[in-house]
Amino acid sequence: MRLFGYHVGLAWRSLRRDPVVSAIMLVALALGNGVWWMSLAEYVRFSAWDIPLAPTLHQAELLRPRDASAVFADGARDNPYLAPRAIQERTQVSYPELQRLQASAAPVRQSAGFRAEVVVRGPDGGGAVKIARFTNRAFFSMFARPFSAGGPWPEDADAGGAGVVVLGRATGRALFPRGGAVGQTITIEGRPFRVVGVLAEYQPLNAPWQLLIIGGSEDALFLPLADFDALGVWPDQPLLHTPPESDSRSALLRSDARFVVSWVDLPTPAHVEAYRRDLDRSFGPGGYVLRSLAEWRRAFAMPTSQLSFFSFLAVIVLVGGVFTLVRFLFTKGLTRGAELGVYRALGAPRGSIFARTWAEGMLLGVPAAVLGPLAAQPTCWIFNHYVRLVDMPLEVTAFPVFVGIAISIAATALGLLYPAWRLSRATPTVYLGMG
Amino acid sequence: MRLDAGPVLRTLRRQPAVFTMLVLEIAAGVATLTALLLSASWYGLIGAQHSSFDEENLLLVSSYTPGGDEAALVASQRADLARLRAIPGVEAASSVSLSILDARWIYPALFKSPDSKRRAVGWPAFTDDAAPRTLGLHAIAGTLPPDAGGDDGGAAREAYMTICLAKALFGSPANAIGRFVESDQNVPVRVRAVVQNATMRIPFMPHAGCVLFIAGGAPVGHEAQVYVRTAPGARDTVQTRVRDAFAGEARRRWIDVRSLDTTDSQHVRVGHGLAAFLSIIGALVGVNAQLGALAATSFLVAQRRRQIGIRRALGATKADIVAYFLVESGFTMLAGSLLGLGGTVLLFLMMRPFFQGLAVDVGAIAAGLVLFWSATIAATLVPALSAARVPPSVASRSL
């Protein structure tokens, strides 16, 4: 360890001997890392890995007998187009089922919610159809949604009729570009609502509070669940199982159409047991599966998709970049065989050659990894301006930057073991023979 | 200039590890680049898809009417339809629940029939009897419902489906006539006709052209979409008239009037955007690989300065030296490309489940290879030209 600085110094001098070639190598690696980082950032945005959720969150999957569309779920696992719906079928419940789930007093926190389209008019009077999430106050703390201004509505607003609304980040910026949204009034479905908070972050595409709203826009605003009936709006994209008895809204709400996601917080085994007893009473033993957050994540892992494929390609690019660096150092070591031979003949141990080669690679690999997110910025900009799949742009956030750089450095450090080991193996006489 | 492969092969044999790594690197680069170009080509095709309707003379009027009174909503939507049909220049108007311009993620239905063991994924579009005339549908088999021009709301009456759905469910259009079809989203309806394929969902969705048009039975809701066929060449004029007709209701409702112009739709923008974006990523991957190759080749050239000097002293011209490096590069490129094409086949098989209808695009693969070859030749030429400048006297310096 005390020779670390010495080896790094030697490696640095080696790189400076060919500054142009070293710079080209650095640029090549940084570009590769940029592609890798961009793909990782998109994957993180999709998967919500970076949202710290309490492990005590639980969700009950209600088991139903086979019905008209059961085949949809059966064959869906292998079909990337149907897999999202199969997962939604299992993670959502119908409106009548929600009433039965909410009858339990065992959870310390409960959050139920669904999406519905509403007409929103801002202070300028312009109207737009937006996606609202009808939920309760606990939602914001259970799913760790930070606020840039204000906060969630007061607890008594959960009862409905308080005329309060929380705006999503994009909607807050669109309606109040100069800020100051909290306390302002907007019109929703022709009724006035006071803004009590604005969220600070865009939501992930595969939000844990409602999985696989792939291709959809974010929750533009949040309203108390109890206001759903008063506004008379319709749930967005209910998963119909059997066609409702009539076309009316009330028939839809009475039907087995699934569109509600329900979560509970059960912090102790006693809470879990109490909740199980309530579920047994409501749905019968064996009529449900209660999963903790960890179990739920395993059961409803994100299905493979085009994004998975591009992530796989990005891993190839990352490995290819490491491979390029390995070959570069290997070639460089071979071309300087005579020099290394002299070095060994003068008493340098194998460990010294190993450390110097490894350090030389890391002197290129570490800056390239750090430059990766920077190199990705032009492509991020192109993605956000010319592709713009949804209203949630791809952003540079701490989590993907840290993870991307860490994985890249780790891969480089591992890859460099090979050329360092190979170059340190040969005997001094072999090297001297090359002179 | 002599293109002699012998010395090149001897060099390759002398440093097998370096050249094996180079070949693998090229293979990974070729496979990644061609996979990116194949996916870019797929997105390009998505961006090129249109509805297959006569878009020049069609308008789409979307509305959202707040309020919880279902009877009032139904009445309002029927009144809208009647008002639209009465506007001068409107030849026909139909309420249709789906549109290629609607970019929202909506799940398809799984259709089945008591008359067939097959099931098919597709899209139910609730509409009315005027739809064939409005959309310009024509019967491939069976007969389309007559457009009586009356009030055609109410319960689901009968249906007509596109060829795509008829083939998937019944094997052929003729077999579909008279059969009943149901799904999780519609009650059983009898098929009376099969029409040409028409894209009614954004083409990113599966089977966007497999549609069951159901006359009647549209679910009540706040939203409504009306397709309007205008007199030939009158689309822009009628668009203005429709906007004027509904201008007074802007405070109470949300109404959007636009031409059914898929060139200006989200799937076109996203499809073309992704095609361009993936091409840029492909180019970056290519540049990344070639810069790495350039750096490593520079060292190989430096290593051989004495060898080059001897060859120059023995009569080799500058062109011979450049050719030597190009032939060497050619060998590794050939081996790497062949291996890379194998990798492309594997990646293609991986891609197929996620990229519906993905085809082998020889042009994209050839473009990938040409790009990679051109870049490699450029990456070789720089150090090769430098090597060609080595004077014969270098041969004697280290003797």
Shortest CA distance to B65 belongs to which of B292, B199, B256?
B256
Convert the pLDDT of each residue in B291-301 to its tens digit: 777 776 777 77
In chain A, how many domains are there? 2
In a domain, A292, yes or no: no
Considering only CB atoms, which chain A residues are within 8 Å of B268?
A: none
- The amino acid present at A11, given as its one-letter code, is A
Q: Which of B189, B249, B298 to mutate to test the interface with A (most CBs of A within 10 A)?
A: B298
For position A430, what pLDDT does the model report? 57
Domain co-membership, A106 together with A19: no
Shortest CA distance to B328 belongs to which of B16, B18, B1, B7?
B7
Considering only CB atoms, which chain A residues are within 8 Å of B110?
A: 69, 71-72
Mean pLDDT value across residues A421-433: 71
Convert the pLDDT of each residue in A110-142 to its tens digit: 999 999 989 899 888 778 888 999 999 999 999
Highest mean pLDDT: which range of A345-354, B151-160, B339-348:
B339-348
- The more confident residue out of A318 and A433 is A318
Helix or strand (DSSP H, E) at A263 = strand A258-265
Domain co-membership, A44 together with A85: no
CB B58 within 8 A of CB B236: no
Of A72, A189, A252, the CB nearest to B110: A72
Backbone angles phi, psi at B155, to 5 degrees: -75, 165
| Residues recorded for chain B | 399
For position A243, what pLDDT does the model report? 67
The mean predicted confidence, pLDDT, of chain B is 84
The Cα A360–Cα A326 span in angstroms is 11
Q: Which two tokens stand for residue B313?
A: 């002293």
**pLDDT at residue A203 is higher than 90:** no
Q: How far is the alpha carbon of B72 from chain A, nearest alpha carbon, in Å?
A: 12
Mean pLDDT value across residues B129-138: 90
Considering only CB atoms, which chain A residues are within 8 Å of B28?
A: 316, 319-320, 323
Domain co-membership, A227 together with A252: yes
CB contact under 8 A, A28 and B292: yes
Find how far residue A209's CA is from the centre of its chain: 13
In a domain, A115, yes or no: yes
Q: Which two tokens stand for residue A320?
A: 């290819």
**pLDDT at residue B232 is higher than 90:** yes
Shortest CA distance to A230 belongs to which of A186, A179, A182, A188?
A188
Of A306, A323, A331, the CB nearest to B18: A331
For position B399, what pLDDT does the model report? 43
Residues 6+ apart with CB under 8 A from A57: A142, A263, A264, A265, A292, A293, A296
CB contact under 8 A, B270 and A389: yes
Convert the pLDDT of each residue in B347-361 to its tens digit: 999 888 888 888 888
Considering only CB atoms, which chain B residues are within 8 Å of A327?
A: 18, 21-22, 25, 292, 296
Considering only CB atoms, which chain B residues are within 8 Å of A128?
A: 254
Considering only CB atoms, which chain A residues are within 8 Å of B24?
A: 323
Domain co-membership, A98 together with A243: yes
Domain co-membership, A185 together with A164: yes
Of A80, A243, A249, the CB nearest to B353: A80
Instruction: Compute, in degrees rounded to 10, the torsion defined by CA atoms B363, B369, B370, B373.
Output: 180
CB contact under 8 A, B284 and A233: no
- The more confident residue out of A248 and B50 is B50
Backbone angles phi, psi at A299, to 5 degrees: -70, -35
The Cα A388–Cα B266 span in angstroms is 9
A–B: how many Cβ contacts below 8 A? 207
**pLDDT at residue A276 is higher than 90:** yes
Percent of chain B with pLDDT over 70: 92
Q: How far is the alpha carbon of B231 from chain A, nearest alpha carbon, in Å?
A: 30
Chain B's closest residue to A315, CA to CA, is B32
Convert the pLDDT of each residue in A69-100 to its tens digit: 555 555 666 666 677 777 888 889 999 999 99
Convert the pLDDT of each residue in B270-288 to its tens digit: 888 889 888 888 888 888 7
Domain co-membership, A72 together with A153: yes
Q: How far is the alpha carbon of B220 from chain A, nearest alpha carbon, in Å?
A: 5
- What's the half-sphere exposure (Cβ side, CA atoms, 13 Å) at B240? 3
Q: Which two tokens stand for residue A8?
A: 């790094």
For position B7, what pLDDT does the model report? 62
For position A57, what pLDDT does the model report? 94
In a domain, A258, yes or no: yes
Shortest CA distance to A209 belongs to which of A300, A102, A118?
A300
Of B32, B104, B356, the CB nearest to A313: B32
Q: Which of B11, B26, B69, B107 to mutate to test the interface with A (most CBs of A within 10 A)?
A: B107
CB A55 within 8 A of CB A208: no
Considering only CB atoms, which chain B residues are within 8 Å of A313?
A: 32, 35-36, 347
- The more confident residue out of A412 and A214 is A412
Find how far residue A267's CA is from the centre of its chain: 25
Which residues span the domain enclosing A204?
61-266
Chain A's closest residue to B356, CA to CA, is A81
Query: Across A32-89, where does the E strand assignment appear?
Result: 57-62
Least confident interval from A19-28, A370-379, B240-249: A19-28
- The more confident residue out of B202 and B140 is B140
Query: Across B102-185, where does the E strand assignment appear?
Result: 109-113, 116-127, 139-142, 158-162, 180-183
Q: Which two tokens stand for residue A246?
A: 């009539």
Instruction: Identify any residues that bridge with B213 across adjacent strands, giving them in sequence order.
Output: B125, B160
Of A24, A231, A335, the CB nearest to B295: A24
Mean pLDDT value across residues B228-244: 93
- Bridge pairing between strands B116-127 and B211-215: parallel
Mean pLDDT value across residues B79-88: 92
Convert the pLDDT of each residue in A238-275 to its tens digit: 887 776 667 778 888 888 888 999 999 999 999 999 99
Q: Which two tokens stand for residue A128?
A: 């737009």
Q: How far is the alpha carbon of B85 from chain A, nearest alpha carbon, in Å?
A: 25
Domain co-membership, A39 together with A132: no
The Cα A261–Cα A93 span in angstroms is 6
Q: Which of A17, A85, A234, A385 to mutate to test the interface with B (most CBs of B within 10 A)?
A: A234
| Sign of CA pseudo-dihedral A183, A187, A193, A195 | negative
- What's the half-sphere exposure (Cβ side, CA atoms, 13 Å) at B296? 26
Q: Is B67 left (phi over 0), alpha (psi -120 to 50) or beta?
A: left
**pLDDT at residue B174 is higher than 50:** yes
Of A128, A215, A323, the CB nearest to B21: A323
Backbone angles phi, psi at B244, to 5 degrees: -65, -40
CB B217 within 8 A of CB B186: yes
Convert the pLDDT of each residue in A205-225 to its tens digit: 788 888 766 556 789 999 999
For position B220, what pLDDT does the model report? 74
**CB neighbours (10 Å) of residue B245?**
17
Q: Which two tokens stand for residue B91?
A: 């030849």
Considering only CB atoms, which chain A residues are within 8 Å of B64?
A: 117, 119, 129
The Cα B285–Cα B372 span in angstroms is 10
**CB neighbours (10 Å) of residue A18?**
16
Q: Which two tokens stand for residue B187?
A: 């009650």
In a domain, A73, yes or no: yes
Domain co-membership, A67 together with A186: yes
Give the orientation angle of helix B318-351 with respect to helix B16-48, to 10 degrees. 50
Q: How far is the alpha carbon of B335 from chain A, nearest alpha carbon, in Å?
A: 17
Instruction: Identify any residues that bridge with B345 across adjacent strands, giving them in sequence order.
Output: none
CB contact under 8 A, A190 and B66: yes
CB contact under 8 A, A249 and B110: no
Q: What ipTM was predicted for this assembly?
A: 0.79
Domain co-membership, A330 together with A406: yes
Confidence of residue A104 (pLDDT cuts 50, 70, 90): very high
CB contact under 8 A, B289 and A320: yes
Q: How far is the alpha carbon of A278 from chain B, nearest alpha carbon, in Å?
A: 31
Percent of chain A with pLDDT over 70: 92
Q: How far is the alpha carbon of B319 from chain A, nearest alpha carbon, in Å?
A: 24
The owner of tokens 């159901």 is B214
Least confident interval from A193-197, A235-239, A333-337, B112-116: A333-337
Shortest CA distance to A174 belongs to which of A140, A217, A145?
A217
Of B219, B284, B294, the CB nearest to A35: B284
CB A365 within 8 A of CB A413: yes
Domain co-membership, A355 together with A250: no
CB contact under 8 A, A35 and B281: yes
Considering only CB atoms, which chain B residues are within 8 Å of A379?
A: 277, 280-281, 284
**pLDDT at residue A156 is higher than 60:** yes
In a domain, A394, yes or no: yes
Per domain, the residue ranges of chain B are: 5-48+268-397, 55-262
CB contact under 8 A, A320 and B291: no
CB B317 within 8 A of CB B54: no
What is the DSSP secondary-structure string of A7-19?
A: HHHHHHHHHHHSH
Mean pLDDT value across residues A390-411: 86
Domain co-membership, A33 together with A120: no
For position B150, what pLDDT does the model report? 61
Domain co-membership, A96 together with A42: no
| Sign of CA pseudo-dihedral A288, A292, A293, A299 | negative
What is the DSSP secondary-structure string of B257-321?
A: EEE--GGGSHHHHHHHHHHHHHHHHHHHHHHHHHHHHHHHHHHHHHHTHHHHHHHHHTT--HHHH
CB contact under 8 A, A237 and B295: no
CA angle A44, A314, A43 (to 5 degrees): 15
CB contact under 8 A, A317 and B32: yes
CB contact under 8 A, A386 and B273: yes
Q: How far is the alpha carbon of B257 from chain A, nearest alpha carbon, in Å?
A: 14
CB A130 within 8 A of CB A97: no
